[in-house]
């Protein structure tokens, strides 16, 4: 369904391995090999160090409008939250929300949200939560809550899924050490000093899979969105399972050449046309 697709695109910044983001479903994922010995993790990071080396700071809120075929389809926000302490270590905290536009509620309703905690030294995700509320107007609805707890030292992730009328589902899966979640991946794209033609690649875990995201900068362009006109680097995204590309359709992001390296636009190709996510309002953090 279009709005189910659109809301998920808003939630994960067009990065999840699903047809909604124009990516093919993977039949296999990266073979997990837990490092031995484990990399030494810092234990004395202060709260003020949590966002020290990032272009974004706590309190930043980016608001987006999602359009399909030139029509407003929904809205989304990406929020950088205050550092949170977990097991004695300060973590970066992110929150995203996506919802349908009023004009489409007669056909489909979606209200999704997700949150994540990530280690500041390597972006490794430690906790992830997603909640989906979707359905047709006067029709069957879909509701799900999922909690993921990551143990990078064991290269394992514990998943707990809750759905109305179903038994609580618990499962443990393999995760590559230091893997990034999809929200963290969206933000990590803003941290690279892009050089046209030089690709950047990192490991992501989502949709029960470990996969690689490759970002190839193409050129600097002037981009006009509801929030204004920005000089931005156009970056092409591709997903890989091992050496095999697992993507159908093109996905591009535009990252502003400003101190915040703001994500100003995302374009994804799906079977029924182009979907755009455009920055409508930006509040910097501190």
User: Taking the model in full, what pTM does it have?
Assistant: 0.87
Q: Which pairs from 81-90 meet CB under 8 Å and 24+ separation?
A: 82/58, 83/47, 83/50, 83/51, 83/58, 84/117, 86/117, 86/126, 86/127, 88/43, 89/43, 89/45, 89/119, 90/45, 90/46, 90/47, 90/49, 90/50, 90/120
The two tokens of residue 138 are 């006067």
39 is a domain residue: no
pLDDT digits (tens, 9 = 90+) for 228-255: 999 999 999 987 654 444 455 678 999 9
40 is a domain residue: no
125 is a domain residue: yes
Is pLDDT of 74 > 70?
A: yes
128 is a domain residue: yes
Q: How many folded domains does the chain comprise? A: 1
For residue 125, the model assigns a pLDDT of 97
pLDDT digits (tens, 9 = 90+) for 75-130: 889 999 999 999 999 999 999 998 877 666 666 677 889 999 999 999 999 999 99
223 is a domain residue: yes
Domain that holds residue 24: 2-33+45-283
38 is a domain residue: no
123 is a domain residue: yes
């Amino acid at each position: 369904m279009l709005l189910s697709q659109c809301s998920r695109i808003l939630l994960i910044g067009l990065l999840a391995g699903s047809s909604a983001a124009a990516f093919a479903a993977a039949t296999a994922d990266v073979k997990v090999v837990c490092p031995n010995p484990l990399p030494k993790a810092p234990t004395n990071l202060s709260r003020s160090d949590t966002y020290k080396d990032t272009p974004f700071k706590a309190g930043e809120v980016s608001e987006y409008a999602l359009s399909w075929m030139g029509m407003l389809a929904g809205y989304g926000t990406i929020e950088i939250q205050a550092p949170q302490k977990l097991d004695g270590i300060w973590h970066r905290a992110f929150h995203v929300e996506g919802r349908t536009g009023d004009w489409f509620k007669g056909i489909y309703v979606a209200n999704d949200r997700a949150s994540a905690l990530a280690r500041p030294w390597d972006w490794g995700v430690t906790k992830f939560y997603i909640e989906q509320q979707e359905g047709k107007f006067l029709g069957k609805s879909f509701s799900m809550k999922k909690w993921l707890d990551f143990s990078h030292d064991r290269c394992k992730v514990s998943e707990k899924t809750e759905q109305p009328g179903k038994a609580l589902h618990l499962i443990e899966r393999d995760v590559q050490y230091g893997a990034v979640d999809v929200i963290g991946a969206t933000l990590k794209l803003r941290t690279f000093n892009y050089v046209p033609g030089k690709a950047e690649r990192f490991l992501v875990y989502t949709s029960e899979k470990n996969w690689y995201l490759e970002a190839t900068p193409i050129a600097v362009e002037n981009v006009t969105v509801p929030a204004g006109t920005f000089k931005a680097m156009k970056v092409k995204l591709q997903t890989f399972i091992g050496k095999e590309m697992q993507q159908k359709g093109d996905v591009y992001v535009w990252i502003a050449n400003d101190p915040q390296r703001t994500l100003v636009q995302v374009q994804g190709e799906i079977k029924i046309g182009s979907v755009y996510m455009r920055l409508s309002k930006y509040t910097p953090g501190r």
